[in-house]
């Protein structure tokens, strides 16, 4: 087993260095074939523009953002989309769960999930939903008690091309 060498925190605003570090993580995941909304090659400009939009949502209280940092900078992140329709105030969507390839398979994914669930509770959320096209992420979510709903076939393009399905999960924090 490898010892954890990262620290985790929730951000309430994003500075330029954090945007740069988050862009690195997103680019690395897309390069590695993760289906996370972007096609390869993802330029630094597009990645930074994405995180700047996320930063605005964080400041507005529409999103909760967690980051993990190691000696080289940002190495993982996850967010909750808190801003939901008025008839679903108890629900949030878990989004952009990303661990840089240099930091994988050391428990950081699990730590980010636990941090996201704790943040959701702090925000008064009791129902979380997510979808994923990644087998490793599926194992992680099931290990942590998420319930698998089913698969939507041909949902998105993989970053290097070709369609993939997505698997929908939920987690009831009240039970």
Q: Rule CB under 6 A: say whether 109 interacts with ligand COA.
A: yes
3-state secondary structure of 121: helix
Closer CB to ligand COA, residue 36 or residue 156?
Answer: 36
Residue 42 CB: number of other CB atoms within 10 A? 20
Q: Rule CB under 6 A: say whether 77 interacts with ligand COA.
A: no
Q: Which of 26, 30, 34 is nearest to 134 (CA)?
A: 34
Binding characters for ligand COA, 17-56, by CB under 6 A (x = yes): ------------x----x-x--------------------
* Min CB(82)–ligand COA separation in Å: 18
Closer CB to ligand COA, residue 84 or residue 166?
Answer: 166
Closer CB to ligand COA, residue 82 or residue 137?
Answer: 137
Q: Which of 50, 147, 40 is nearest to 96 (CA)?
A: 50
How far is the C-alpha of 25 from the C-alpha of 122, rounded, in Å?
26
Binding characters for ligand COA, 128-147, by CB under 6 A (x = yes): ----x-x-xx-xx-------
Residue from 26, 67, 98, 120 touching ligand COA (CB under 6 A): that is 98
Residue from 31, 73, 81, 107 touching ligand COA (CB under 6 A): that is 107
Chain mean position to CA 5: 20
Sign, CA dihedral 47-51-52-57, equals positive
| Residue 72 φ then ψ, to 5° | -95, -5
Task: List the alpha helices (DSSP H) in 60-148.
Answer: 108-122, 135-143
Residues that bind ligand COA (CB under 6 A): 1-2, 29, 34, 36, 97-99, 104-110, 132, 134, 136-137, 139-140
């Amino acid at each position: 087993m490898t010892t954890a060498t990262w620290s985790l925190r929730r951000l309430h605003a994003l500075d330029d260095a954090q945007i740069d570090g988050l862009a690195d993580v997103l680019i690395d995941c897309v390069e590695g074939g993760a289906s996370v909304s972007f096609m390869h090659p993802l330029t630094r400009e597009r990645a930074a523009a994405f995180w700047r939009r996320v930063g605005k949502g964080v400041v507005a209280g529409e999103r909760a953002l967690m980051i993990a940092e190691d000696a080289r900078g940002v190495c993982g992140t996850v967010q909750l989309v808190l801003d939901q329709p008025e008839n679903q105030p108890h629900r949030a969507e878990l989004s952009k769960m990303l661990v840089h390839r240099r930091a994988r398979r050391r428990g950081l994914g699990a730590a980010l999930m636990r941090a996201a669930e704790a943040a959701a509770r702090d925000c008064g959320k009791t129902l979380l939903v997510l979808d994923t096209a990644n087998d490793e992420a599926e194992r992680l979510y099931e290990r942590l008690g998420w319930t698998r709903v089913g698969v939507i076939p041909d949902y998105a393009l993989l970053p290097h091309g070709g369609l993939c399905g997505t698997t929908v999960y939920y987690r009831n924090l009240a039970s």
